[in-house]
Amino acid sequence: MSFAQRFFGGIGLLEITFPQVIMLVLALTLIYLAIVKKYEPLLLLPIAFGMIAANLPMPIPGLSGLSARDEGSLLFYLYQGIHLGIYPPLIFLCLGAMTDFGPMLSSPKSSLIGLGGQLGIFVAFGGALLLKYLFPGIEGFNFTIQEAAAIGKIGSSDGPTTIFIAEALANDLLPVIAIAAYSYMALVPIIQPPIMRMLTTDKERVIEMPPPKPISKRAKIIFPIAMTIITLLLVPAAGMLILMLMLGNLIKESGVADRYVRTFESHLLNVLTFLIGISIGATATAEAMLNVKTLTIVCLGLLAFAFGTVGGVLTAKLLNLFSRDKINPLIGNSGVSAMPMAARVSQRMGQQYNPSNHLLMHAMGPIVSSTIISAIIAGIFIALFI
């Protein structure tokens, strides 16, 4: 091979295809949303650059690949943290170190709102199976029960758990499922408010809730230990996620390992977020993303997210029928695990209708319970369908 042939054969521009151009445009759009609109920049920036790497051609044999599919490349080895189930539990460790279970423990009924917020999981799960039943001959609707379970998890708005179950049950769909999950999490302030307004009345929106009751340090220490033991005994498939979440929280509440807490809630979390983002982006090739099945998953994910919000708000309204102490149903949107964005939306909308309303800590109760319930549901799905 002549020098000229080798040189021009190494110019990626000569090898790029139209689908790859579309993916590059999509990656640039994510960069725009991250930098200009500030939508989840810590995730969207590495995801976007991973997508750029995955869709740039590498025509010279012997050069290291830039896609996570190419063994020997850096991104291939970074992706092993997802493939081997390492990153999601470590993310849960960091989340545990940031989480205060006090609001949930002071108002146990808020856990029911977190349970109601899982409605979206089952709507999307059933929807994916229904599409296969109604349109059996269409490839884009031909989901297995494992794929349907992974798609349904988008409705929990819990990124690490969604990645965990997608890798276990539907590895081929991991890029689109993960990107859809994190994209909808970033769009919480846009998607949720119209649903919340539609399902609540003016009278309900101004309900004032008293500050959460204080919880003793002993209770906060006992809870993560007890929760871990119960989960490992009853739903061992969810054990690693719950164990790491509760370990992080126990370290926080014990008050004897502040150095760990500072590391988990800042440096380690940031590193893991970056590694997950770029690893997922590097699997988002044109072949994996640009097809009818991808569009269907995106639509089912939006349906799941919307119904998760609906389920949380309606559960809060239902609880008010039987409770003496009324709940402002605006915190129902926090039945999904979009922490802490959903709680901020609750707070912002609550003060919009009643400036003396302070819903932030009340909204954290459903969010943390949703995180626990979401991980347990993931474990149940894995145990049933793997």
Q: What is the pLDDT of residues 266-318, one digit of tens each?
A: 999 999 999 999 998 888 888 888 888 999 999 999 999 999 999 999 999 99
pLDDT in tens, 61-109: 444 444 556 777 788 899 999 989 999 999 999 999 999 999 999 988 8
Cα-trace Rg, the chain: 22
| Separation between Cα atoms, residue 160 and residue 295, nearest integer Å | 22
| Separation between Cα atoms, residue 108 and residue 274, nearest integer Å | 34
* All residues at 6 or more sequence positions from 307 whose CB lies less than 8 Å from its CB, including other chains: 119, 120, 123, 124, 155
Please provide residue 298's backbone torsions phi and psi, each rounded to the nearest 5 degrees: -60, -45
In the prediction, which pLDDT does 64 show?
Answer: 47
- Residue ranges of domains in the chain: 79-385
In the prediction, which pLDDT does 60 show?
Answer: 46
In the prediction, which pLDDT does 2 show?
Answer: 52
What percentage of residues in the chain have a pLDDT greater than 70? 93
pTM: 0.89
pLDDT in tens, 141-186: 899 999 999 999 998 888 899 999 999 999 889 888 988 888 888 7
Q: Name the DSSP letter for residue 67.
A: S
